Every structure is written in structure tokens, then in C-alpha cells.
């Protein structure tokens, strides 16, 4: 099994590249996160945003698996599936759900909003999809799983959890009864889809020599353990999460594709050492179209952060780097890269300190010359603009992994691989 995951704060372009690589694979599987994700695919002049459905869904031969590590919102899922069916995607044939995936209940979303409100100015900037309360119930051993919907006591169990949630909530919204009815309708709708033991499913696929690609959501710097805690999401977004989120043993992992933007973005609150709160940041947002695919919020923008990238490469065991959105930097004459941090006590380091939340960090930059547009139809890295080649080489030398894919536009065909990908 190979893994493709984000090395920054999410939105690196995972959806685009999973869709691009999918023809090399038989199975694409999500292993964590839920509707907080927004993965954009762009082909035949049309844009598609997927939240809970793996990005292999538009390739008819692919089996798409939603693993046990995912938290599922049935209401959002029903809408996503119906939208795909309108496009004649045969979702019933190609979509498989783990019976162990946790369910996001309507009260989880209300709790998410209440918990964010209670944090006041320390709010996380959650997508308010109920992610944190659902994972809290999972870890608290009181969550409901998709497979539980198949038992006659499902509604009873639902009511018990809802009663527990209500203890921590005031009044429910006036339209809650309607939302609840829609939730139960969506659960019935989902029962028409394939619910599987995804750990056996993936294991059988690997044993049959089928190629499996695990698709990460969010990014390494949002990981619950290794991200900028507490400004993180509530799951393990790193490669180890693919093992627990799918039931695949670590020795089955082959390639780990780490995907990053040629600069940095972050949506929501939390530390961002290279953030540019000036005209340059504004230009990055404008040229990069940096607005959230799930919430529409403007993304915060800044230069590439090598200490953070290095850390992400280490934690994930990245074997190949994919660099995205190189076209967005073409309007800039000068491009900066943070190589080190200066800490409050004057220490200069290329390592990510354990606390980047309360400690003020000053990035130390190296400046590069900008590059011209990438010519359409080029077939090799040697044909990339010289200054971009210099940029690539510098990152490779400092991060210790090769950049084997460069993306220069949202469409499938604005992608250049160094060599044809061999999936073993």
C-alpha cells in the first residue's frame, strides 16, 4: 500500500493528485478525518469538491473505501452521493464503507459550535462539522459506528447518547426535530451501500496483488499528536494514521508521497511562523485562489517553511515529495524560503520547537529569484524554468527527499512527473 498525505496545514492539493494517480491503483482509501476535508478535483473544465468520498471516485475501475478511522456525517454524505449520481457516477458499485467508521450525530455538530464558542478568543477555527466531539466520543468509548445502524436497538442507543450530549447543551435549535429526521433518513439511504470489514477488504486486496492508495485528509501540522496543538484537528493525519485508520500493518506500507505547496497556507487559528500579513500574503491568496474548499474562509498565506517541512518528512517517512501550485509563484520576482527559526532566547534552529504556540518565532529566510510560466506540453524536469529547478534542488538538499512531481495548475494535465510512477 502507498500513502499520499499532506505535509503542511491541509489543502496541499491531495484531491487533485489522488485523482491524477488513481489509474495506477485498484483501491483508494480514506483513513481519517471526515467532512472537515475538502478535496478539489478539476477535469474536463469542471471542478468537483469531495468531502468524505475518496478522490478515486471519478475513475470507474477504482474501489473507494472509507476506513474505520474516518468520522462520517450521514447527512452530508447523502448529499455528496446524490450529487455524484447526477453526474452518472456509479457510486453503489464503487464505494465501500467500514462498519467501524464513527458516526457524526446532529448533536456532535451543535457541541462543536458550543465548544468553539466557549473557547472565546482561543477558538481553533474548527470547520464546525462535529469532528472533535465525535472523536471525543470515540476515545471515550461511547460513540456509534456505521455498523451499529444495522441493529434494531440503534435508535435507542442514539437516544442515550443524545441525552448525554444534551446535559452539556442548552436549548436545541428550533429545527432540530427536522434535522434529526433527515439524519435518520440519511442512515436508511446509506444502508443501500456496501458496508464492509475494511481491514479484511484491504488485506484481501493486497494479497491479490491489487494496488492500494491511502488518501490523507488535513495535513501533518494539523495532526493531533504532532501538529501545533491545540490548534489541530482530532485525528492522526500522519502515515501511522493510515495503519490504524485502515487496519493495515506498517510493513505493508511502500511509498509515502508527501505533498506540499511551494508556499504555505493555513485556514483557522493557530501558529504560522512564515505567515505574511501584508500585500505579499494578499497576493498569494489572490493568485492561489486560497479560499477554503469546505468553508469558503480566506486561507492565511506565507512562504515555504523548511523546518516544518523537514519535520513532516521525518514523521511520515516520506519517500517522494510532490510540489504543488508552482504556477502561483510566477508573478513574484523574489521568493523566500524559511530555512531556520530564531527563538525567543536567541537560539537559531532548523528544528520545530515543541511549543510554537506561546513562543514567538522569527523565521530566517533565504531569497530565490522568481521563475517564468511553465510551458505547456513539457515532458521533463530539465525543461522546467531554470530558477524553479534551483528552487527544487535547494528543497531536496535541505529536506532529504526527492521532488518527483511538480504541479502547475488545478487541472489533471497541469502535472509533471519526473519518471513514470511504478506502483509495486
- Provide, rounded to whole angstroms, the least separation between the CB of residue 15 and ligand GDP: 3
Please state, in angstroms and rounded to a whole number, the distance separating the CA atoms of residues 193 and 181: 20
37-96 positions binding Mg ion, by CB under 5 A: 38
User: Of these residues, 2, 26, 39, 48, which one is catalytic?
Assistant: 39
| Residue 292 vs 353, nearer CB to ligand IMO | 292
Which range, of 12-20, 114-122, 230-238, 331-339, touches ligand GDP by CB under 6 A? 12-20
| Residue 212 vs 323, nearer CB to ligand GDP | 323
Question: What does the DSSP 8-state code read for residue 70?
Answer: B
Contacts of 312 (CB under 8 A, 6+ apart): 7, 8, 219, 220, 221, 258, 260, 318
- Provide, rounded to whole angstroms, the least separation between the CB of residue 28 and ligand GDP: 13
Active site residue 44: no
**Residue 290 in contact with Mg ion, rule: CB under 5 A:** no
Please state, in angstroms and rounded to a whole number, the distance separating the CA atoms of residues 412 and 60: 16
Number of residues that bind ligand GDP (CB under 6 A): 23
- Provide, rounded to whole angstroms, the least separation between the CB of residue 129 and Mg ion: 13
Q: Which of 2, 11, 290, 305 binds Mg ion (CB under 5 A)?
A: 11
- Provide, rounded to whole angstroms, the least separation between the CB of residue 269 and ligand IMO: 6
| Residue 218 vs 415, nearer CB to ligand IMO | 218
CB count, 10 Å around CB of 32?
A: 31
Rg (CA), the chain: 21
Active site residue 39: yes
Residue 255: name the closest of 30, 21, 423 by CA.
Answer: 423
Indicate the helix (H) or strand (E) that contains 342: strand 334-342
Q: Which of 327, 388, 403, 416 binds ligand GDP (CB under 6 A)?
A: 327
CB count, 10 Å around CB of 73?
A: 26
- H helix runs in 255-385, sequence order: 279-288, 306-316
User: Of these residues, 2, 11, 19, 305, which one is catalytic?
Assistant: 11
Phi, psi of 314 (to 5 degrees): -65, -50
Say which entry of Mg ion, ligand IMO, ligand GDP, none residue 233 contacts (CB below 5 to 8 A, set by partner kind): ligand IMO
Number of residues that bind Mg ion (CB under 5 A): 3
Taking CA atoms, 42 is separated from 136, 149, 191, 318, in Å, by 35, 35, 30, 26
- Provide, rounded to whole angstroms, the least separation between the CB of residue 397 and ligand GDP: 23
Helix (H, G, I), strand (E, B) or coil at 258: strand
Using CB under 6 A, list all residues that contact ligand IMO: 6, 9-11, 33, 36-39, 124-127, 129, 131-132, 217-219, 222, 233-234, 267-268, 293
| Residue 93 vs 286, nearer CB to ligand GDP | 286
Q: In what order do the strands lie in the sheet with 212-215?
A: 194-196, 95-98, 63-66, 27-30, 212-215, 2-6, 256-261, 320-324, 403-407, 415-417
291-350 positions binding Mg ion, by CB under 5 A: 293
Show which residues are catalytic.
11, 39
Amino acid at each position: 500500500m502507498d500513502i499520499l498525505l499532506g505535509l503542511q496545514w491541509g489543502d496541499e492539493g491531495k484531491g487533485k493528485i489522488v485523482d491524477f494517480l488513481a489509474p495506477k491503483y485498484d483501491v483508494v482509501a480514506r483513513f481519517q478525518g471526515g467532512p472537515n476535508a475538502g478535496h478539489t478535483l478539476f477535469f474536463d473544465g469542471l471542478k468537483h469538491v469531495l468531502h468524505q468520498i475518496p478522490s478515486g471516485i471519478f475513475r470507474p475501475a477504482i474501489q473507494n473505501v472509507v476506513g474505520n478511522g474516518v468520522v462520517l456525517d450521514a447527512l452530508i454524505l447523502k448529499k455528496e452521493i446524490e450529487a455524484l449520481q447526477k453526474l452518472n457516477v456509479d457510486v453503489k458499485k464503487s464505494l465501500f464503507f467500514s462498519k467501524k467508521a464513527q458516526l457524526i450525530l446532529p448533536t456532535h455538530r451543535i457541541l462543536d459550535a458550543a465548544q468553539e464558542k466557549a473557547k472565546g478568543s482561543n477558538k481553533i477555527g474548527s470547520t464546525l462539522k462535529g469532528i472533535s466531539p465525535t472523536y471525543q466520543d470515540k476515545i471515550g468509548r461511547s460513540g456509534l459506528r456505521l455498523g451499529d445502524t444495522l441493529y434494531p436497538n440503534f435508535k435507542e442507543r442514539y437516544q442515550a447518547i443524545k441525552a448525554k450530549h444534551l446535559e452539556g447543551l442548552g436549548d436545541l435549535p428550533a429545527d432540530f426535530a427536522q434535522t434529526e429526521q433527515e439524519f435518520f433518513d440519511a442512515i436508511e439511504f446509506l444502508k443501500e451501500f456496501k458496508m464492509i470489514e475494511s481491514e479484511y477488504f484491504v488485506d484481501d486486496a493486497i494479497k491479490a496483488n491489487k494496488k492500494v492508495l491511502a488518501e490523507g485528509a488535513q495535513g501533518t501540522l494539523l495532526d493531533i499528536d504532532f501538529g501545533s496543538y491545540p490548534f489541530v484537528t482530532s485525528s492522526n493525519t500522519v502515515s501511522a494514521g493510515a495503519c490504524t485508520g485502515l487496519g493495515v500493518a506498517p510493513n505493508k506500507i511502500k511509498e509515502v508521497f508527501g505533498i506540499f505547496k511551494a508556499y504555505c497556507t493555513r485556514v483557522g487559528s493557530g501558529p504560522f511562523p512564515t505567515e505574511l500579513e501584508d500585500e505579499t500574503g494578499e497576493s498569494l491568496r489572490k493568485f492561489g485562489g486560497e479560499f477554503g474548499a469546505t468553508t469558503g474562509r480566506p486561507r492565511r498565506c506565507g512562504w515555504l517553511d523548511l523546518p516544518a517541512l523537514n519535520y513532516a518528512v521525518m514523521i511520515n517517512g516520506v519517500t517522494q515529495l510532490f510540489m504543488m501550485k508552482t504556477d502561483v509563484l510566477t508573478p513574484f520576482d523574489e521568493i523566500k524560503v524559511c530555512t531556520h527559526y530564531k527563538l525567543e532566547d536567541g537560539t537559531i534552529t532548523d528544528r520545530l520547537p515543541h511549543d510554537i504556540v506561546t513562543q514567538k518565532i522569527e523565521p530566517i529566510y533565504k531569497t530565490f529569484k522568481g521563475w517564468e510560466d511553465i510551458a505547456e506540453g513539457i515532458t521533463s524536469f530539465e525543461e522546467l524554468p531554470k530558477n524553479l529547478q534551483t528552487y527544487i534542488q535547494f528543497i531536496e538538499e535541505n529536506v532529504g527527499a526527492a521532488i518527483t512531481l511538480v504541479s502547475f495548475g488545478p487541472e489533471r494535465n497541469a502535472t509533471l512527473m519526473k519518471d513514470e510512477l511504478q506502483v509495486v
